[in-house]
Amino acid sequence: AQSVTQPDARVTVSEGASLQLRCKYSYSGTPYLFWYVQYPRQGLQLLLKYYSGDPVVQGVNGFEAEFSKSNSSFHLRKASVHWSDSAVYFCVLRRTGNYKYVFGAGTRLKVIA
Amino acid sequence: EAGVTQSPRYAVLQEGQAVSFWCDPISGHDTLYWYQQPRDQGPQLLVYFRDEAVIDNSQLPSDRFSAVRPKGTNSTLKIQSAKQGDTATYLCASRGGQDTQYFGPGTRLLVL
């Protein structure tokens, strides 16, 4: 069975600071990995996805994520956060062979002035 | 392009009552998902369809929940006899040819 762990339920950072949200996955095969964001009163939206190749993938709004097979991780990063980045971020895994997605519990990001 | 629409947006029930949720996916998307998202948790898959066929309903509590997508377009999720533990947001998502899910705004259910 596969699973996704986001160890930090809540993260608070100052505007302009850098950000890393952690994600660990458990899956014996080759995973397809995603980050989705849920803004207040909006539906979930895709930030980025990773299939293979370069372990660093770029997403929208300056977000990037780095895949590490040895660490079973897929951490999300941003160099300088803005107050509008305040939202809940979900790490998501899909196994090969089907289109069933497994979500982590989410990390609630608060950006303060 | 219109997004995924869901109705109602909110529902408040007493235990034992029934409720239906409706989802209209993005036109042309063949795959439709229903998720349950309890407060402060991630979405958990209940069921998903490709066209009108159920592909996976292994996490759907079949004694009280049912889901249909009769023409491969709109879908309905029904809870026959709601329990307090069903309190959550119910999300619908659709997927076309790419590996991207498009989510609706959700239906927030409170069971008293």
CB contact under 8 A, B103 and A94: no
Q: Which two tokens stand for residue A85?
A: 């980045």
A79-91 pLDDT tens trace: 999 999 999 999 9
The mean pLDDT of B6-13, rounded to a whole number, is 97
CATH number for the domain spanning A49: value is 2.60.40.10
For the segment A90-103, what is each residue's pLDDT rounded down to a tens digit? 999 998 888 999 99
CB atoms A9 and B40 under 8 Å = yes
**Chain B CB within 8 Å of residue A44 CB:** yes
- Chain B residues in contact with A21 (beta carbon < 8 A): none
| Contact map slice: A 12-41 vs B, CB within 8 A | 32, 34, 36, 41
Is the pLDDT at B1 greater than 70? The verdict is no
| Interchain proximity A43–B48, CB inside 8 Å | no
Does the pLDDT of residue B13 top 90, yes or no? yes
**B45-82 per-position pLDDT tens digit:** 999 999 999 999 999 998 999 999 998 899 999 999 99
Residues spanned by the domain of A42? 3-112
In contact, B105 and A40? CB cutoff 8 Å: no
* Greatest extent of chain A over all pairs of C-alpha atoms, in Å: 45
- Average pLDDT for chain B: 95
- Residue A30 one-letter amino acid: T
Residue A65: Cβ within 10 Å count: 26
CA distance A65 to A35: 8
Q: Which of A4, A100, A108 sits opposite B56 (nearest CB)?
A: A100
> Cβ of B17: how many Cβ atoms within 10 Å?
14
Distance CA B42, CA A72 (A): 20
Report the number of distinct structural domains present in chain A: 1
Q: What does residue A25 show for φ and ψ, rounded to 5 degrees?
A: -125, 160
Q: Which of A2, A3, A5 is nearest to A105 (CA)?
A: A5
pLDDT at position A40: 87
The CATH classification of domain B5-101, taken from the options 3.90.1150.10, 2.60.40.10, 3.40.50.2300, 3.30.565.10: 2.60.40.10
3-state secondary structure of A78: strand
Residue ranges for chain A with pLDDT beneath 70:
none
How many H helices and E strands in chain A?
A: 0, 12
